[in-house]
DNA sequence: GTGGTCTAGACCACG
DNA sequence: GTGGTCTAGACCACC
């Protein structure tokens, strides 16, 4: 399992980890029941604080995507996220699309970019 | 100009205002050179502190979208002046699309939702 | 007497007027005892508020550079500014030079730019 | 890291902090990647409110000179990352030089003062 | 009447 | 322990 942290990314580190793992699950690279790396190991690999990884795992557990077993590591519990409200799904999409439009991209171009990202998500 | 604040939204209030105004600019409802409401008035309308609105306006000014003139209110400076890096444009989109996929939406369904949001963005 | 207001300049409008008139006096284009345009006329010419020009004239009068006679317009009182403290003279210079250095200009290049501006100031 | 606030200075406090830190970066006293003091500590040292320091840090971040990491303090991001327009660089210099000339300094004397300040800027 | 600065203090988010 | 957000209110600067 490969995860990258980008120092220049404005998202907090724990959020980057959450997003990357979700992406791996969505892509099918992390299957249900498969093992996640131990918190301490991932923290060492990424050169970040132990608590930061723990926060990320806690968030993923709260969303029902992984199951953390005390002393036995974490596994992927489900490849389907908990029900999110319409707002939680739409607001981030709306914001992302608005930025693309304000950047000067025509509607057709935005659709092309979305298609590109979608294909990269589930190849 | 109508803006809504959602208490249940996880984004900070000033960010919601920023996003809403960007949306209004992208939609063409706020034209270049048009006046934005005074910070204190918008704050009263939204039932929040005026400093919160001022923070939103400062952010929009830093991005070059509005011009705040001391003593003379704020106007829309440019509807297409956002210099965002590829990362700043793609990362939020990627996260939003991942959420939709994890929510169980098929690729075609995601494209439909995106199209719907895009049409709502530039009617 | 020609003065230009730049909308994109971050300085307040009244300050731009003050700076421009000081520059004209320093250059010798406005000699002692010469007439300044009436407040209302300058405001009309520049397309700005009457009070803004009045504020600029008040500032220049406070510094002893112009004399405002009620109902008789303003004249250049002196081509030498009131004594400013060392801080008032040095701090703006220091800030301006720091910006040039941070912009990547070598010391010699900064001196060249300063020489250029100085020559433009008293030709 | 030593910063001084001058009550008699007309610049707002947060701006004085911004200018002082820029100066320290330009002088090479604050090297890239080095830590800035925590906002609350610097505020206590200067005897001001922490929000005022936070405003200064936010401004420096917006200009790309420092990177503020939520929960992990701020570091110097780049000692030469200022993208200022020609106007933003020249106007303050022009104003500062005009003041020196109006104070009665001959052109040669102004050049001497500028040289003095420049040497103090990068020792 | 417009926005800007600063303070004081509470509570939250991140590492 | 770090920075972020928000509020409340005072006073100032600009048009």
What is the per-residue DSSP string for B30-68? S-TTPBPPPHHHHHHHHTS-HHHHHHHHHHHHHTTSEEE
What was the pLDDT predicted at D81? Answer: 66
Q: Residue D117's pLDDT band (boundaries 50, 70, 90)? A: very high
B121 to A97: CB separation less than 8 angstroms, yes or no: yes
Give residue D123's pLDDT: 64
Packed helices B86-102 and A86-102: angle between N→C axes, nearest 10 degrees? 150
B52-85 pLDDT tens trace: 999 999 999 999 999 999 999 999 998 776 788 8
Interface test with D, best of A5, A6, A10, A13 (most D CBs within 10 A): A13
pLDDT for residue C83: 81
Q: Is the pLDDT of residue A62 over 70?
A: yes
Q: Considering only CB atoms, which chain D residues are within 8 Å of A7? A: 67
Q: Can you tell me the distance from the alpha carbon of C117 to that of C105, in angstroms, rounded to the nearest whole number?
A: 15
pLDDT at A65 over 90: yes
Q: What distances in angstroms separate CA C105 from CA B114, C101, D92, D117, D122, one per listed residue?
A: 47, 5, 16, 15, 12
Q: Residue D47 burial (CB < 10 Å; 0-12/13-18/19+)?
A: exposed
Band of the pLDDT at A84, cuts 50, 70, 90? confident
Which pLDDT belongs to residue B81? 67
Q: Which nucleotides of strand E lie under 7 Å from a protein CB?
A: 1-9, 13-15
Q: What is the mean pLDDT of the segment spanning C19-43?
A: 94
Asked whether the beta carbons of D23 and D56 are under 8 A apart, the reply is no
Asked whether the beta carbons of B119 and A110 are under 8 A apart, the reply is no
Neighbour tally for B36: CB within 10 Å? 22
Q: Do chains A and B touch (3 or more CB pairs under 8 A)?
A: yes
DSSP-assigned letters across all residues of B65-102: SEEE-TTS-EEE--SS-----HHHHHHHHHHHHHHHHH
Say yes or no for a CB contact (<8 Å) between D121 and C83: no
Percentage of residues of chain D with pLDDT beyond 70: 98
Distance CA B11, CA C21 (A): 48
Question: Is the pLDDT confidence value at A123 over 70?
Answer: no
What are the chain D neighbours of A47 within 8 Å (beta carbons)? none
Q: Is the CB of D62 under 7 A from strand E?
A: no
Q: Tell me, in Å, how far CA of A55 is from C1' of E14?
A: 9
Q: What's the pLDDT score for residue C122?
A: 73
pLDDT of residue A87: 86
Chains that touch D (3 or more CB pairs under 8 A): A, C
Chains within contact range of chain C (3+ C-beta pairs < 8 Å): B, D
- Residue C92's contacts (CB-CB under 8 Å, 6 or more residues apart) are D92, D95, D96, D99
pLDDT digits 0-9 by tens, D71-96: 999 999 987 766 888 999 999 999 99
pLDDT for the residue numbered B48: 97
Kindly tell me if the per-residue pLDDT of C70 is higher than 90.
no
CB of C98 under 7 A from strand F?
no
A5 in contact with B at a CB cutoff of 8 Å?
no
Q: B56 beta carbon < 7 A from strand E?
A: no
B7 touches strand F (CB under 7 A): no
**Backbone phi, psi, residue C29, to 5°:** -80, -25
* A35 and B CB contact within 8 Å: no
Q: How far apart are CA C33 and CA C38, in angstroms?
A: 15
Q: What is the mean pLDDT of residues D37-53?
A: 97
Going by pLDDT thresholds of 50, 70 and 90, the confidence category of residue C123 is low
Alpha helices in chain D (DSSP H): 13-27, 39-46, 50-62, 86-102, 107-121
Q: Is B67 left (phi over 0), alpha (psi -120 to 50) or beta?
A: beta
| Residue A72, H or E segment | none
> C75: exposed, middle or buried (C-beta count within 10 Å: 0-12, 13-18, 19+)?
middle
CB A33 within 8 A of CB A72: no
The percent of residues above 90 in pLDDT, for chain B, comes to 89
Is the distance from CB of C17 to CB of C52 less than 8 angstroms? yes
- Is there a contact between A11 and A59 (Cβ–Cβ < 8 Å)? no
pLDDT of D84: 87
Nucleic strand F under 7 Å from the C-beta of C48: yes
- Closest by CA to A97, choosing from C60, C57, B90, D121, is B90
Write out pLDDT tens, residues C82-97. 788 888 999 999 999 9
CA atoms in the 13 A half-sphere facing the CB of C67: 10
Q: State the pairing for strand pair B66-68/B74-76.
A: antiparallel
pLDDT of C71 over the 80 cut: no
Q: What is the pLDDT of residue A52?
A: 96
Per-residue confidence band for C34, with pLDDT thresholds at 50, 70 and 90: very high
Give the span between the Cα atoms of C43 and C58, in whole angstroms.
14
Query: How much is the pLDDT for C85?
Result: 86
Residue D82 near residue C102, CB atoms below 8 Å: yes
Chain B hits for C7, CB-CB cut-off 8 Å, are 67
Subunit contact B91:A25, Cβ cutoff 8 A = no
Task: Please give the protein residue whose CA is closest to the C1' of the nucleotide E1.
Answer: B71
- What per-residue confidence (pLDDT) applies to A73? 84
Residues in chain D closer than 8 A to A12 (CB atoms): 70-71
Round the average pLDDT of chain A to a whole number and report it: 92
């Amino acid at each position: 399992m490969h995860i990258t942290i980008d120092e220049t990314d404005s998202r907090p580190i724990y959020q980057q980890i959450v997003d990357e793992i979700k992406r791996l699950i969505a892509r099918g690279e992390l299957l249900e029941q498969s093992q996640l790396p131990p918190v301490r190991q991932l923290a060492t690999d990424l050169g970040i604080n132990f608590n930061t990884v723990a926060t990320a795992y806690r968030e993923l557990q709260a969303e029902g995507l992984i199951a953390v077993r005390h002393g036995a590591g974490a596994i992927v519990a489900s490849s389907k996220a908990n029900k999110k409200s319409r707002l939680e799904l739409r607001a981030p999409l709306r914001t992302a699309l608005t930025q693309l439009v304000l950047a000067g991209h025509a509607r057709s171009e935005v659709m092309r970019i979305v298609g590109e990202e979608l294909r990269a998500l589930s190849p």
